[in-house]
Amino acid sequence: MLAQYLGLIATITLAVGFATALLGLARLLRRRLEPRARGGPVHDESSLADESDEPAEPGAFACGPDPEIPPPEYAGSGLRGVAILFLVFQAGALTFYLWGATFRDGGLGAAAHMAWFALPLVFGLGHAWARGAFE
Protein backbone atom coordinates (compact mmCIF):
# COMPACT_ATOMS: atom_id res chain seq x y z
CA MET A 1 0.00 0.00 0.00
CA LEU A 2 2.68 2.48 1.06
CA ALA A 3 5.01 1.23 -1.69
CA GLN A 4 3.09 3.30 -4.24
CA TYR A 5 4.37 6.46 -2.53
CA LEU A 6 8.03 5.47 -2.98
CA GLY A 7 8.12 6.82 -6.53
CA LEU A 8 6.66 10.14 -5.45
CA ILE A 9 9.12 10.49 -2.56
CA ALA A 10 12.04 9.49 -4.83
CA THR A 11 10.99 12.04 -7.46
CA ILE A 12 10.67 14.88 -4.97
CA THR A 13 13.99 13.97 -3.32
CA LEU A 14 15.85 13.76 -6.64
CA ALA A 15 14.25 17.00 -7.88
CA VAL A 16 15.24 18.89 -4.73
CA GLY A 17 18.71 17.30 -4.93
CA PHE A 18 19.10 18.38 -8.55
CA ALA A 19 17.99 21.93 -7.78
CA THR A 20 20.41 22.16 -4.85
CA ALA A 21 23.23 20.71 -6.95
CA LEU A 22 22.51 23.24 -9.69
CA LEU A 23 22.74 26.10 -7.21
CA GLY A 24 26.03 24.61 -5.96
CA LEU A 25 27.30 24.45 -9.54
CA ALA A 26 26.29 28.08 -10.06
CA ARG A 27 28.27 29.07 -6.97
CA LEU A 28 31.28 27.10 -8.25
CA LEU A 29 31.06 28.75 -11.68
CA ARG A 30 30.93 32.19 -10.11
CA ARG A 31 34.02 31.38 -8.04
CA ARG A 32 35.83 30.50 -11.27
CA LEU A 33 34.56 33.27 -13.52
CA GLU A 34 34.30 36.30 -11.28
CA PRO A 35 38.09 36.84 -10.87
CA ARG A 36 38.52 36.62 -14.64
CA ALA A 37 35.88 39.30 -15.13
CA ARG A 38 37.68 41.53 -12.69
CA GLY A 39 40.99 40.92 -14.47
CA GLY A 40 42.57 39.31 -11.43
CA PRO A 41 44.19 35.90 -11.01
CA VAL A 42 41.79 32.99 -11.33
CA HIS A 43 42.53 31.38 -7.97
CA ASP A 44 42.89 34.49 -5.86
CA GLU A 45 40.61 33.78 -2.87
CA SER A 46 40.47 37.44 -1.92
CA SER A 47 38.65 38.37 -5.12
CA LEU A 48 35.93 35.74 -5.02
CA ALA A 49 32.42 36.48 -6.13
CA ASP A 50 29.77 37.45 -3.63
CA GLU A 51 29.60 34.02 -1.99
CA SER A 52 28.01 35.14 1.21
CA ASP A 53 24.96 36.42 -0.66
CA GLU A 54 25.23 39.68 1.19
CA PRO A 55 22.77 42.36 0.10
CA ALA A 56 24.32 44.13 -2.84
CA GLU A 57 21.43 46.35 -3.87
CA PRO A 58 20.52 49.44 -1.89
CA GLY A 59 16.84 48.59 -1.89
CA ALA A 60 14.36 45.99 -3.01
CA PHE A 61 14.19 47.44 -6.48
CA ALA A 62 17.12 49.59 -7.44
CA CYS A 63 15.79 51.54 -10.40
CA GLY A 64 12.56 53.18 -11.53
CA PRO A 65 10.10 55.23 -9.53
CA ASP A 66 8.66 53.93 -6.27
CA PRO A 67 5.07 52.78 -6.72
CA GLU A 68 2.36 54.96 -5.26
CA ILE A 69 0.41 52.04 -3.83
CA PRO A 70 2.43 49.50 -1.82
CA PRO A 71 1.59 45.81 -2.39
CA PRO A 72 -0.38 45.19 0.85
CA GLU A 73 -2.97 47.85 -0.02
CA TYR A 74 -3.21 46.57 -3.57
CA ALA A 75 -3.82 43.09 -2.15
CA GLY A 76 -6.87 44.33 -0.28
CA SER A 77 -8.70 45.34 -3.44
CA GLY A 78 -10.22 41.96 -4.14
CA LEU A 79 -7.83 39.18 -3.31
CA ARG A 80 -9.34 38.59 0.13
CA GLY A 81 -12.76 38.01 -1.42
CA VAL A 82 -11.25 35.57 -3.92
CA ALA A 83 -9.41 33.77 -1.11
CA ILE A 84 -12.62 33.32 0.92
CA LEU A 85 -14.55 32.10 -2.12
CA PHE A 86 -11.70 29.72 -2.91
CA LEU A 87 -11.88 28.19 0.58
CA VAL A 88 -15.63 27.68 0.37
CA PHE A 89 -15.69 26.24 -3.15
CA GLN A 90 -12.54 24.17 -2.82
CA ALA A 91 -14.01 22.44 0.23
CA GLY A 92 -17.09 21.67 -1.86
CA ALA A 93 -15.03 20.57 -4.87
CA LEU A 94 -13.10 18.03 -2.76
CA THR A 95 -16.29 16.05 -2.18
CA PHE A 96 -17.03 16.07 -5.91
CA TYR A 97 -13.79 14.23 -6.76
CA LEU A 98 -14.61 11.15 -4.68
CA TRP A 99 -18.26 11.32 -5.61
CA GLY A 100 -17.34 11.39 -9.31
CA ALA A 101 -15.09 8.34 -9.00
CA THR A 102 -17.84 6.32 -7.25
CA PHE A 103 -20.80 7.78 -9.12
CA ARG A 104 -21.72 4.57 -10.94
CA ASP A 105 -21.93 2.64 -7.67
CA GLY A 106 -24.12 5.29 -6.03
CA GLY A 107 -26.48 5.75 -8.96
CA LEU A 108 -29.50 8.04 -8.80
CA GLY A 109 -29.50 8.27 -4.98
CA ALA A 110 -25.92 9.58 -4.88
CA ALA A 111 -26.73 12.03 -7.66
CA ALA A 112 -29.71 13.37 -5.72
CA HIS A 113 -27.63 13.73 -2.53
CA MET A 114 -24.92 15.60 -4.40
CA ALA A 115 -27.46 17.89 -6.06
CA TRP A 116 -28.81 18.74 -2.59
CA PHE A 117 -25.26 19.35 -1.33
CA ALA A 118 -24.36 21.54 -4.33
CA LEU A 119 -27.46 23.72 -4.07
CA PRO A 120 -26.05 26.15 -1.43
CA LEU A 121 -22.84 26.39 -3.44
CA VAL A 122 -24.76 27.34 -6.57
CA PHE A 123 -26.73 29.96 -4.63
CA GLY A 124 -23.49 31.19 -3.05
CA LEU A 125 -21.85 31.57 -6.43
CA GLY A 126 -24.88 33.40 -7.80
CA HIS A 127 -24.99 35.70 -4.78
CA ALA A 128 -21.26 36.51 -4.99
CA TRP A 129 -21.60 37.12 -8.72
CA ALA A 130 -24.61 39.40 -8.26
CA ARG A 131 -22.79 41.38 -5.54
CA GLY A 132 -19.91 42.00 -7.95
CA ALA A 133 -17.32 39.85 -6.16
CA PHE A 134 -15.67 38.94 -9.46
CA GLU A 135 -15.50 42.43 -10.97
Partner 1 sequence: MIAVLAKTTLMLAWAIGLMLPGIHWGQARRRAMMGGRAGPQAAQLSGGTIGGALQPVADALRLLSQSDEIPAGASRLAYRTAPIVAFAIPLSVLAIVPFGSRYDLGRFHPNLVVADLDWGVLWLFAAALFSLYGIVSAGWASGGPWSGWGAIRAGGELLSLSVPLGLSLVGLFMVFDSLKLSEMVRAQDTQVAVFALLEGLGVEGWGEGWGAPLGALRLPAWGIFLQPLAFGLFMACIAIESRRRPFGASVCETEIVAGPLTDYSGGRLALFVMASHLRLVVAACLTVSLFLGGWSLPYLSQERIIASIAVYYGEGFAAILCLALHVVVFLAKVVAVIVLWLRFETVLPRMAEDRIRELCWTALLPLASINILITALAILWLEGAT
Q: Shortest Cβ distance from residue 11 to partner 1 (Å)?
A: 4
CA distances from 31 to 39, 40, 41, 55, 114 (A): 13, 12, 12, 18, 61
Sort 25 into a burial class: Cβ within 10 Å, 0-12 / 13-18 / 19+.
exposed
Q: Nearer to partner 1 by C-beta: 45 or 72? A: 72
Q: Nearer to partner 1 by C-beta: 42 or 94? A: 94
Q: Nearer to partner 1 by C-beta: 46 or 90? A: 90
Q: Of 132, 31, 18, whose CA–CA distance to 82 is shortest? A: 132
Q: Shortest Cβ distance from residue 113 to partner 1 (Å)?
A: 12
Q: Shortest Cβ distance from residue 21 to partner 1 (Å)?
A: 10
